[in-house]
Amino acid sequence: MPTADKISQRIKFRQLNVLVAVTRFGSMAKAADHLAVSQPVISKAINDLETLLGVRLLDRGPFGAEPTAHGRALLRRCVGIFDELRTGVSELDTLSNPDSGELRIGCEETLATGVLPSIIDRLSRRHSQLTYEIVIADPNTLRERDLLGRNAELAIMRVEEGEQDPRFDTQLLYNDRLWIVAGPTNPWAARRKVALRDLIGERWCLPPSDHPVGSMIREAFRTSGLQPPARTVTVASAQCTSSLVSKGLFLGVHGRMFLRFNPPSVRLKVLPVELPNSISPISIVSLHGRSLSPVAERFIDSAQEVAKRLETA
């Protein structure tokens, strides 16, 4: 059997592109339409690739084509190959025109309100032709779907101590602090002294327990020797939480940076009570071993400048 080096030298980029297209559209006919070639061209490319590798990559049936275990293994590598190629072409464009380029960013919803727009605004004023594609999701989805799947080059998210994953590189951006908030008409908003134990029986709007913020709230109460409060409303959206809490019936929890950028029309009062162990590290996360594009490097530099300015303001 030919060695891996010899096989890799004989594989054609066009063959891999055909494999990805067939898998994406589920049939050779649809892949042919997408690539603007005939179906026999698609079939020959797949057959040649299977012959070269000595394994079956697709299971053909009356309802289309699906990748085999070998096909899925190769497709996982194809994602990286195409992504690195796209990054390389983007880097060439950037070298030709330092103001141009595209960046795919993942971000938690709570951080997409003020921090991310501030970073993009600052960077866009310096490099006017940069373009951005933003994906909003929870941290686990950002890691497993977007970073590993190379749908995003980097992501801004909460990464708690002890959650370091060797698959990713993490750069601390700033430390956020969580505060308990109420609407201006909530009776607790007028209190000058509040104890954490006083709030357990209140109606709460909180993220799920497996959400980073939800987990921190649970541990904060337990650290104080208290049972975590029951959630009347469970929602991971900071925007939904702030809107609901501002009406006066519920209590919620927000980070200091989110409160800084909360719209004036959504009025919230920070209660005079501290959550223990409520410092939340906000980090820029990227796939380990992945070479970042010049645009990504510029974004990181701009993010660090913005974070430093916001923390000292």
Under a CB-based contact definition with an 8 Å cutoff, are residues 176 and 257 in contact?
yes
Q: What share of the chain is helix, strand, coil (3-state, %, to 5)?
A: 45, 25, 30
What pLDDT is attached to residue 1? 47
Site of tokens 């913020």:
213
DSSP 8-state code for residue 233: E
| Mean pLDDT, all residues of the chain | 86
pTM of the entire predicted model: 0.68
What is the CATH code of the structural domain delimited by 99-175+282-312? 3.40.190.10
Distance, in Å, from the CA atom of 68 to the CA atom of 75, rounded to the nearest integer, reads: 10
Mention every residue, 6+ apart, whose C-beta is less than 8 A from residue 23. Answer: 58, 65, 66, 67, 71, 75
DSSP 8-state code for residue 202: S
Distance, in Å, from the CA atom of 150 to the CA atom of 288, rounded to the nearest integer, reads: 12
181 C-beta neighbours (distance < 10 Å), count: 25
| 48 closest CA partner among 76, 10, 79 | 10
**What pairing do the DSSP bridges indicate for beta strands 231-234 and 204-206?**
parallel
pLDDT in tens, the chain (313 residues): 456 666 667 777 788 888 888 888 888 888 888 888 888 888 888 888 888 888 888 888 777 888 898 888 887 777 777 766 776 666 666 655 656 788 899 999 888 888 899 999 999 998 888 899 999 998 889 999 999 888 899 999 988 776 778 899 999 999 999 999 999 999 999 999 999 999 999 999 999 988 888 888 999 999 999 999 999 999 988 899 999 999 999 999 999 888 888 888 889 999 999 888 888 889 999 999 888 888 898 999 999 999 988 777 6
The second-level CATH assignment, the architecture, of 176-280 is 3-Layer(aba) Sandwich (3.40)
Q: Where in the chain is the domain with CATH 3.40.190.290?
A: 176-280
What pLDDT is attached to residue 93? 66
Q: Where in the chain is the domain with CATH 1.10.10.10?
A: 4-78
What is the CATH code of the structural domain delimited by 4-78? 1.10.10.10
Q: Where in the chain is the domain with CATH 3.40.190.10?
A: 99-175+282-312
